[in-house]
Amino acid sequence: MPKPKVAFYWCASCGGCEETVVDLAEDILGVVEAVDIVFWPCAMDFKKADVEAMPDQSIVATLLNGAIRTTEQEEMARLLRRKSQVLIAYGACAHLGGIPGLANQFPREQILRYVYEESPTTINESRQRPQLKFAENGREVALPELHNVVRSLDQVVDVDYYVPGCPPTPKLTKAAVTALLENRLPPKGSVIAPDVALCDECPRKATKPADIAFTQFKRPHQVLMDPEKCFLAQGVVCLGPGTRSGCEAACTVGGMPCTGCFGPTSRVRDQGLKMLSSLCANVAPKEEADINQVLAGIPDPVGTFYRYGLAKSLLRRKVNLPAE
Amino acid sequence: MTPENQPSLPSAAWKPRIVAFFCNWCTYTAADLAGVSRMKHAANLRVIRLMCSGRVDPQFIVDALAKGADAVLIGGCHPNDCHYAEGNYKCLRRYQMLQRLLADMGIEPERLRLEWISAAEGEKVKRVVNEMVETVTKLGPLGLPQKFAQWDEEMEHFAEHVAAGEAAADGGCTEHGTKTQPLETAHA
Q: Which of residues 65-124 of B touch A (CB under 8 A)?
A: 65-66, 79, 89-90, 92-94, 96-98, 100-101, 104-107
pLDDT at B170: 45
Q: Which of residues 27-66 of B touch A (CB under 8 A)?
A: 54, 57-59, 62-63, 65-66
Q: Which of residues 71-90 of A touch B (CB under 8 A)?
A: 71, 74-75, 78, 81-82
Per-residue pLDDT tens digits of chain B, which is 188 residues long:
334 444 445 567 899 999 999 999 999 999 999 999 999 999 999 999 999 999 999 999 999 999 999 999 999 999 999 999 999 999 999 999 999 999 999 999 999 999 999 999 999 999 999 999 999 999 999 999 999 999 999 987 777 777 777 666 544 333 444 333 444 443 44
Return the closest-CA partner of residue A150 out of A91, A107, A90, A86: A107
A18 touches chain B (CB under 8 A): no
Q: Report the C-alpha gap between A93 and A256 in whole angstroms.
A: 21
Q: For an interface test with B, which of A148, A154, A280 has the most B Cβ atoms less than 10 Å from its Cβ?
A: A280
Residue A276: pLDDT over 60: yes
The mean pLDDT value of chain A amounts to 94
Say what the ipTM of the complex is: 0.93
Residue A214: pLDDT over 60: yes
Q: How far is C-alpha B73 from the chain's CA centre? A: 9
Per the CB < 8 A criterion, the answer to whether A201 and A245 are in contact is: yes
Q: Report the C-alpha gap between B15 and B4 in whole angstroms.
A: 16
CA gyration radius, chain A: 22
Shortest distance, CA A280 to any CA of chain B (angstroms): 5
Q: CB B105 to CB A277 under 8 A?
A: no
